[in-house]
Chain A
Amino acid sequence: MEFLVASSVGIMTAAGVYLLLRGRTFPVVLGLALLSYAINAFLFAMGRLTIHQPPLVSAAASGYTDPLPQALVLTAIVISFGMTAVIVVMALRAFLESGDDDVDLLGERRTRPGQAQ
């Protein structure tokens, strides 16, 4: 199980970083979303993996997983939604203003020879 989680974090990170480095706003947004998943999972993993032991106090519980990383990740998820939303809207506004969604030199697009628009 640990290997699955660790490799998932790695793969999501790799995909996220790759998309983050693309030249248009939309892949950058996707990359950021992927990277958020990866980082949230990474933070969550700091509490190690446990099954069937949710942090709900009860007399019948056999033990509890670490609640602290969960609390941190919960707000991180909501905040990363806020961040994604701001970036999406910024990308949208930039596109509407400049007619272009290139992340470099918005509005004064340099032509790349030999490539179709």
Chain B
Amino acid sequence: MNLALIVMLPFLGALLPALMIRAGRNACAIATGSVTLLALALLLSHVPAVLRGEVLQVGWAWLPGLGLNVNFFLDGLGLLFAGLILGIGLLIIVYARYYLSADDPMGVFYTYLLLFQGAMVGIVLSDNVLLLLVFWELTSLSSFLLIGFWRHLPEGRQGARMALVVTGAGGLSMIAGMLILGGIVGSYDLTVILHNAELIQADPLYLPALILILGGCFTKSAQFPFHFWLPHAMAAPTPVSAYLHSATMVKAGIFLMARMWPALAGSDAWFYLVSTAGLVTMLVAAGVALFKDDLKALLAYSTVSHLGLVTMLLGFGTPLAAVAAVFHIINHATFKAALFMSAGIIDHEAGTRDIKRLGGLMMLMPVTATLAMVAGASMAGLPLLNGFLSKEMMLEEAAHAVWAGQGWVVPLLATAGAVLSVAYSFRFVLHVFLGPRRTDYPHQPHDPPPGMWLPPALLAVLVVLIGLFPETFTGALVRASAGAVIGDAVPQFHLSQWHGLTPALLMSTIAVAIGALTVWRYPVVRAWWEAGAHPEAKRMFDTCVAKAVDSSRSLVHGLHNGSLQRYLAFMAGAAVVVGYAAWFGASHEAGTRQTLVAPPVAVVAWLLLVGACGATVLVHRRRLIALLTIGIIGLVVSLGFLYLSAPDLALTQISVEVVTVILILLALYFLPKHTPAESSGARKWRDAGLAVAAGLGLGGATWAVLTRDFATISGYYIDKSVAEGGGSNVVNVILVDFRGFDTFGEIIVLGIAALAIYALLDGAMRGRVAPKLAAWVPDFPKSADRHPMIMVVATRVMLPLALMVGAYIFLRGHNEPGGGFIAGLVVAIALIMQYMASGFGWAVKQMRVGYRAMIGAGVLIAGATGITAMAFDYPFLTSAFVHLHLPLLGDVELASAMAFDTGVFLTVIGAVMLALANLSHMGRLAAHAPVNQTPMDVDPSIVTSTVRGR
């Protein structure tokens, strides 16, 4: 539980900063910090157990069918990384409080930061690879937000996008790899996967899985050739760079390689892929770093280089190399985060981070200079500091590595990497802090407030302490986490400054000497570098992106040319082809089910339907007549339902028919009354062919079904309807009880449809259509009798009756044909008749309930009914009912489903009325007639004009 809480705390706390920012920046930072501190304290409470070698586990099944479990575990490696993430996170939170200016939205920043933190902790504590992948993607997304935090800067946006594209693509590749891995092992639980190394490595899919997973790791950890995104991500605010790009996110790839080490490492493929990528990255990035003038760019490439170093060590696949890798992760996190923060301080106080414009800051910013020099010396790998220790171990391992049968390749290149590393570290220190004091700094440099220098100072102290007393401070942690990486007994090793005269010491000495020489003769080296060619990764990336965009655009536009006719023809055609292919792909025998005898009335109805269908097609260009024929078809369909034992459907169909026809009539007020003849003969024949094929297909399928017997699951519903649903109308009980969740979804859809209609019409009445409506000229003669008296009187007399019919249909719905849907439609028709007879203005005044509120109330009532069941520990929408015996009324049944049906009822009325009332509102706007105050009045303009016309 505790473990899951460590992961969940940052996510839960992510809401805090956005709220606390109202209480001021300090309160905001303190709230954020306490969330992280709490998580860190929880983590630290497990330290003794983990250092004893225990592995803590906690978990729940989430989607067991997919193998996705919410399992967390904490071992040495998880402890190391979670400690780094939370510990450095805490320092960054303090630092960012002082770094961000008053204009920056600090609450948002801290929210993003906590989201990122939670995702990172999730990665390192996940015990299920699918869960890990979820967190992995979350880090990509949250880092996108953080890198692009200064959204006004184009570099920030581009950097964020590039990071997202590269790490996101890597994430996809990793998902594929992990799925293969899970398929091989048969479980997605990490602890299971890690114990099946032989099984995995013997599988033919091992290599593809390895490459795909490494694709994810390399992109995330900016390994060559995916290293280019990291320097561009440096457009982020410095706290982000320090956090994401030195201590945490870029280490996620390293973490995963370390995590999967027991399962994947040890093969030749692993050695060549990982160690080569690491070696090349270390060398190339260190070389680039030496010639960067932007402090953050220098540090960024240096980070890439150090990540390469760790990758190379993991790639060696030997236990001691794994120990060195783990140790270097700790050391790099301390000195690099300190350096990033120092660079941020310089940028903040001196106004620039361009090395060429800096120098001589030693005396101006003594505190910062000291911190940066200690951390920089550690990065260079000078003795007495922690960077020296792990670099010695790396060189020692490199000295023994044999690459493609050649024993000299790795030692030589590793030394070259060390040379470059010394050189850029010295350059960072010398060119920024030493040298003559200048007069042209953009700001007058001075040390920042303690809140800004204390976090890096703490790290610098750690750099020295670990350097001097490595066993005391990190021995146990390194053993525990290396043990977790190796998954076996940790070899004997001793962390100390002096190991005697080893090859590593020799390589280290050479590195410092040549590195110092390089910086001493820097202009010469620089001139030589400038003369060479420098491929610009960003330009290549941009070109690739532009090409991809162009090709997908031409593809999309080639397929989607904006013609609905074309799309529909393709869709219908595809359905026809698939249907016929399935039909002809199998053999069929004639059905044996006994058919019903058709009574003469049915034949007449059928003739009516066929005639109406034909007429609709033939006269469809005369729209009013086509609407009439459609109405006939709807009527025949309703009668068919009635005859074929479906009274509920018949009632629904007939009422829907009425509202649909009214709706289309209202729309036809504005639309042209005729469709022009446009289709060419060829197109008509093509469409007719398609239509006949579709009709034969669906009709044939229906015939095939109807002539065969079947087994149904409905017996259950019929048996349980009265006993458990409390109603004898099985259809209604299914709707409001057995499958109430479906119905709940459907009334929501209906409500959304009505709101969409409202938005479309309301927008039309306000936008650029409004003048057109104001100048509307009806294209047909209007009746002078606006509100015929007979109709007004008749509808008013009928209204209470119609409402009573609605109520009756509603109440009896549970046991007899009826229910919320039908009653809602009936009541809506009764109401819309008032609009038609007495006019919109009058009807609106009488109707005091808003239809939107009605939709909302309906959905809420239905939802609340369902939730009430949960309060009694039943599943959502379980219904309860009682039989009451009331005087006069007799036996009355009260079912909770009735409340649910009320929700359905209200939503249906609201949705239908919202659509129709708004359409008629628009009609009124276009009619230019004054709002009728009384129901029965005539339109004076038409009367006079008609009279004059005569």
Residues of A bordering B, CB below 8 Å: 1-30, 33-34, 37-38, 40-42, 44-58, 64-68, 70-71, 73-75, 77-86, 88-93, 95-97, 101, 103-105, 112, 115-117
Contacts and interface: CB of A to CB of B under 8 A. Distances in A.
A7 to B, nearest CB: 6
Nearest to A25: B671
Nearest to B908: A78
Contacts of A81: 656, 659-660, 912
B741 to A, nearest CB: 12
B564 A104 contact: yes
B118 interface: no
For chain A, what secondary structure do more than half of its interface residues adopt (helix, strand, loop), or is it mixed?
A: helix
Contact of A88 (B563, B630, B667): B667
B403 interface: no
A53 to B, nearest CB: 5
A47 B746 contact: no
Contacts of A92: 667, 670-671, 760-761, 764, 919
Contact of A74 (B695, B697, B821): B821
Given A10-B696, A56-B815, A71-B739, A103 B564 contact: yes
B644 A49 contact: yes
Nearest to B707: A2
A21 B691 contact: yes
Given A14-B695, A34-B616, A81-B659, A67 B714 contact: yes
A-B interface, 4 closest residue pairs, ranked by CB to CB distance from nearest: A10-B699, A14-B695, A82-B753, A6-B703
Contact of A51 (B613, B620, B645, B734): B645
Contacts of B626: 26-27, 30
B531 interface: no
A5 B678 contact: no
Contact of B730 (A57, A80, A85): A57
Nearest to A17: B691
Give chain B's interface residue range (CB within 8 Å of chain A): 35 or more
Nearest to B569: A21
Nearest to A117: B676
A84 B660 contact: yes
A57 B633 CA distance: 31
Contact of A55 (B698, B729, B753): B729
A116 to B, nearest CB: 7
18 contacts: A1-B596, A3-B703, A5-B702, A26-B672, A42-B698, A42-B702, A55-B645, A64-B718, A66-B714, A70-B648, A73-B646, A77-B652, A78-B750, A86-B753, A89-B667, A92-B761, A92-B764, A104-B562
Contacts of B743: 75
Contacts of B919: 89, 92
B663 A88 contact: yes
Nearest to A52: B645
Interface in B737-792: 739, 742-743, 746, 749-750, 753-754, 756-757, 760-761, 763-764, 767-769, 772-773
For chain B, what secondary structure do more than half of its interface residues adopt (helix, strand, loop), or is it mixed?
A: helix
B688 interface: yes
B87 interface: no
A29 to B, nearest CB: 7
Nearest to B615: A15
A27 to B, nearest CB: 5
A89 B754 CA distance: 10
B178 to A, nearest CB: 39
Contacts of B347: none
Interface stretch (B29-37, B261-269, B601-609, B861-869): B601-609
B430 interface: no
Given A38-B698, A45-B702, A105-B563, A75 B746 contact: yes
A34 B706 contact: no
A56 B730 contact: yes
A51 B596 contact: yes
Contacts of A26: 623, 626, 668, 671-672, 675
A2, A9, A103 — most chain B CB neighbours (10 Å): A2
Interface in B27-48: none
A5 B566 CA distance: 30
Interface stretch (B129-137, B302-310, B635-643): B635-643
A89 B769 contact: no
Contact of B652 (A74, A89, A117): A74
A96 B904 CA distance: 33
A68 B734 contact: yes
B596 A82 contact: no
Contacts of A11: 609-610, 613, 695, 699
